[in-house]
Chains A and B, each alone.
Chain A
Amino acid sequence: MIPAFKFQVSDFAVRVSEFRFPMPEFASGYKHPAVYTPAPSSLMAGWDIVALIAALTLAAIFVLKRRKRREIFLLTLFSLIYFGFWRNGCICAVGSVQNVAAGFFNPAFGVPLTVLIFFAAPLIFALLFGRVFCAAVCPLGAIQEAVAIKPVKVPPAVEKVLSIAPVIYLGLAMLSVAAGAGFLICRYDPFVGFFRMGASFSLLIFGGLMLVLGIFVARPYCRFLCPYGVLLNWASKLSRRHATITPAECIRCGLCADSCPYNAISEPSPEAAPETRGRGARRLGLLILLLPVLVALGAGTGSLLREPLSRMHPTVRLAERIAGEELGRYTGNTIESAAFRASDTPNEKLYAEAVALKERFGRGGKWFGAFIGLVIGCKLIGVSIRRKRTDYEPDRGTCYSCGRCFKYCPVKASCREKPAGSTPDTAEFRQY
């Protein structure tokens, strides 16, 4: 799969040969210089795939077998340097979702193998081993891990409510791709400006703010914005093996839940049932009945929002600008409207295109709204179902397998030899 470094020798027949007006005859025998056409450096794509698979495998080993926070963190730094700064943070798995979606919605959109692997490999590893991609491979996660020095706990209720934001972002990104309005995720990626050392001023400010926020609220992008994280969350819920906090029996000291900046560790269920079973069942039934209502409501709202949503698309904006200029609402031209007027396209064609696009956004908005309604309904159901837990467990969906809890857990493997029920030796407590 690693492509050899190829020299593309001539035969770049870019133009089908046509008559070209002959050059002047130079009496002095002048010969014009050659044109320098450097080839793109996409030949590292093969190495990217190798590095991705290797990093994912190593991350899985570090999280599940070795269970050492330092090793996970070193791998995180490597990913930051390689996938982030060396490869300029592009192509990344987070954006690959859009390419795959574009491949679906547009039969003429080509999705190269590299992009497919960047899309599939983290998901497959999440299905098998949990979110090891988020732990140590994703460059965006890596840069946030690197600055998360003084994490503060976000109240779980806030976290739960804000966890709908990445789903909305994912839905909007898919809508944008489906309607041909471009790649939202790439445009608002806060950290890519630092990776490739170049971005618009506002994007650099956004990125800077996210990093400053990230010092205190660990992984803000991952928790509240990352659209690919939604998919990884769902895949990780089905994971075959997942990071466990303690290698032996949990002693319920609670140090892990305290140390986790992401509220990803679920406490053991309390001894006494806080409410009657009947009441819980009634509430669950109500929420299940509410689900289709939420879906319908979402679909309706999404469809109604077709006007503001359609402004994502530049053609719609241009049509509105041209119509406004014709009616005298705007004075002067923008570069776009001037270029449009200089082209041969009649205004009617532009308006017709804009109307068709608004229809598309209406249909897409319907699906988008229904999807959000469904997710909200499922989240409500999920919150209302109580699982019986005896130990502290990481929530498989939201745990990033970063390994901080390994550091704080006082129970070490050597305690496995002791009979169950006895307290561990404090002398065995090792510091990392």
Chain B
Amino acid sequence: MSSTTKSWIWFAVLLTLIAGAGIYVGTNRRAEPGKSFSYSVDDYRQVDPALLRYAEADGLRPAIKKLSALAVAPDGKIYVAGENAIEIFPDRTVRPVDGTPVCIAVDDDGTVFAGLRDHIEVVSKDGKSTAWPSPGEKACLTSVAVDDRYVYAADAGSRRVWRYGKAGGAPFEIGAKDEANGVRGFYIPSPFFDLAIGTDGSLWVVNPGYHALENYSPEGRLISSWQNSSFGIQGFSGCCNPANFALMPDGSFVTAEKGLPRVKIHNLDGSLRCVVAAPDQFDNGVTGLDVAADRQGRVYVLDPARGVVRIFEEKK
């Protein structure tokens, strides 16, 4: 074999070896993690269609940004809180607020009690704001409710409910641990702590860590409670659910959850009545869903991810 031929063979062999190895390295992919390393809750996202008894109607599109809270006033108007403002439907008036309210409640005369992170701000009908002093340095207010006598503020940071008079002042403490009277204390892992006032004037409060709804008298005495922990549709999943709730005109509970976002209605004894909105009707991982119900039984859901208030009505 002549040396030129030998050279060419050498050349071809070396080139093939190096190029081949390089291509092999370049195109070889690492294995992806297998099934035992993947986490999926897709099974729980399915909801039996028979349970879905509410249909979505046209929603509201507020002009303000960063929607954070929702409330239905006794006169039927819808109050939506967002960045430094509160918008009122159907008039679409906007009332400025000093900060973004985490929660709001509306009185008979249109006064708005807005919970900013560590204190309550009272915004009167003509736009005047009064700030109440903060209930404590750990304060993290997550819900406000008002009836004709009292203003209740749920403080997730201090793990208490504060009861104020309509004019403010020093609050009365509800929720301190009192084993003898059955008050096991509020177990709150994250700032989702909701309350509402029933038609009889008693206070319904979520105890999120126990997945429970507890009924208190205005003096802080425990009247009753119900709870249900489950990933299934009949209970509440995750660490702190229901993240939000509201009371229907007949006293049943409309609950909104986070983690597996869904809106359901529970009967007075806690059993599941029906599903308003299934997880696939929401964006993945949405938090901050707020619910409210009006006198006609319509369910309003604040969807911060889509920036709208969604309205659900019972199917005929």
Residues of A participating in the B interface, judged by any CB pair closer than 8 Å: 19, 21-22, 24-25, 27, 154-155, 157-158, 161-162, 165, 188, 190, 200-203, 205-206, 209-210, 213, 217, 220, 224-225, 335, 342
What's the Cα separation between A313 and B286 when bound, in Å? 33
What's the Cα separation between A25 and B159 when bound, in Å? 9
Given A188-B22, A205-B21, A22 and B140 touching (CB < 8 A)? yes
What's the Cα separation between A22 and B188 when bound, in Å? 10
Instruction: Tell me the minimal C-beta distance from A263 to chain B in angstroms.
Output: 12
Q: Does B268 contact A (CB under 8 A)?
A: no
Closest 10 CB pairs of A and B: A202-B28, A155-B7, A158-B11, A206-B21, A22-B138, A206-B25, A202-B25, A158-B10, A158-B7, A157-B7
What's the Cα separation between A25 and B158 when bound, in Å? 9
New A-B contacts (14) at CB < 8 Å, excluding given A24-B188, A203-B25, A206-B25: A21-B140, A21-B156, A24-B189, A155-B6, A155-B10, A157-B7, A158-B10, A188-B25, A190-B21, A200-B25, A200-B28, A202-B25, A209-B17, A224-B14
Report B-chain residues with C-beta under 8 Å of the C-beta of A19: 117, 140
Q: Mark B26-65, 1 if CB is under 8 A from A, else 0.
A: 1010101000000000000000000000000000000000
What's the Cα separation between A225 and B15 when bound, in Å? 11
Q: Does B267 contact A (CB under 8 A)?
A: no
What's the Cα separation between A201 and B117 when bound, in Å? 53
Q: Decide: A162 and B157 in contact? CB cutoff 8 A.
A: no
Q: Decide: A21 and B190 in contact? CB cutoff 8 A.
A: yes
Instruction: Tell me the minimal C-beta distance from B255 to chain A in angstroms.
Output: 22
Contact among B6, B24, B32, B140 for A202, CB-based, below 8 A: B24
What's the Cα separation between A165 and B7 when bound, in Å? 17
| Closest partner residue, chain B, to A217 (CB atom) | B14
Q: Decide: B7 and A188 in contact? CB cutoff 8 A.
A: no
**Interchain residue pairs with CB less than 8 A apart (7):** A21-B156, A21-B191, A158-B8, A158-B10, A162-B15, A188-B25, A203-B25
Contact among A21, A158, A217 for B157, CB-based, below 8 A: A21
Q: Decide: B14 and A154 in contact? CB cutoff 8 A.
A: yes
What's the Cα separation between A203 and B24 when bound, in Å? 9
Instruction: Tell me the minimal C-beta distance from B306 to chain A in angstroms.
Output: 13
| Closest partner residue, chain A, to B26 (CB atom) | A188
Report A-chain residues with C-beta under 8 Å of the C-beta of B296: none
Q: Decide: B191 and A162 in contact? CB cutoff 8 A.
A: no
Contact among A154, A158, A224, A342 for B18, CB-based, below 8 A: A224
| Closest partner residue, chain B, to A200 (CB atom) | B30
Q: Mark B106-150, 1 if CB is under 8 A from A, else 0.
A: 000000000001000000000000000000001010000000000
What's the Cα separation between A313 and B73 when bound, in Å? 56
Instruction: Tell me the minimal C-beta distance from B108 to chain A in angstroms.
Output: 33
Q: Mark B186-204, 1 if CB is under 8 A from A, else 0.
A: 0111110000000000000
Interface residues on B, range: 20 to 34
Q: Decide: A206 and B159 in contact? CB cutoff 8 A.
A: no
Report A-chain residues with C-beta under 8 Å of the C-beta of B11: 158, 161-162
What's the Cα separation between A24 and B25 when bound, in Å? 52
Report B-chain residues with C-beta under 8 Å of the C-beta of A165: 18
Contact among B18, B30, B157 for A22, CB-based, below 8 A: B157
Instruction: Tell me the minimal C-beta distance from A104 to chain B in angstroms.
Output: 26
- Taking each of A22, A209, A210, which has the highest tally of chain B beta carbons within 10 Å of its own beta carbon? A22
Given A21-B157, A220-B18, A224-B18, A205 and B24 touching (CB < 8 A)? yes
Instruction: Tell me the minimal C-beta distance from A261 to chain B in angstroms.
Output: 14
Q: Does B284 contact A (CB under 8 A)?
A: yes
Report B-chain residues with C-beta under 8 Å of the C-beta of A335: 32
| Closest partner residue, chain B, to A154 (CB atom) | B10
Instruction: Tell me the minimal C-beta distance from A150 to chain B in angstroms.
Output: 16
Instruction: Tell me the minimal C-beta distance from B44 to chain A in angstroms.
Output: 19
Q: Does B93 contact A (CB under 8 A)?
A: no
Instruction: Tell me the minimal C-beta distance from A49 to chain B in angstroms.
Output: 31
Report A-chain residues with C-beta under 8 Å of the C-beta of B21: 190, 205-206, 209-210
What's the Cα separation between A94 and B62 when bound, in Å? 59
Q: Does B3 contact A (CB under 8 A)?
A: yes
Report A-chain residues with C-beta under 8 Å of the C-beta of B157: 21-22
Report B-chain residues with C-beta under 8 Å of the C-beta of A220: 14, 18
| Closest partner residue, chain A, to B190 (CB atom) | A21
Instruction: Tell me the minimal C-beta distance from B26 to chain A in angstroms.
Output: 7
| Closest partner residue, chain B, to A201 (CB atom) | B28
Report A-chain residues with C-beta under 8 Å of the C-beta of B187: 24
Report B-chain residues with C-beta under 8 Å of the C-beta of A155: 3, 6-7, 10
Instruction: Tell me the minimal C-beta distance from A137 to chain B in angstroms.
Output: 24
Q: Decide: B22 and A342 in contact? CB cutoff 8 A.
A: no
What's the Cα separation between A21 and B140 when bound, in Å? 7
| Closest partner residue, chain A, to B284 (CB atom) | A342
Instruction: Tell me the minimal C-beta distance from B8 to chain A in angstroms.
Output: 8
Report A-chain residues with C-beta under 8 Å of the C-beta of B24: 202, 205-206
Q: Decide: B17 and A213 in contact? CB cutoff 8 A.
A: yes
What's the Cα separation between A151 and B26 when bound, in Å? 28
Instruction: Tell me the minimal C-beta distance from B91 to chain A in angstroms.
Output: 33
Report B-chain residues with C-beta under 8 Å of the C-beta of A206: 21-22, 24-25
Report B-chain residues with C-beta under 8 Å of the C-beta of A203: 25
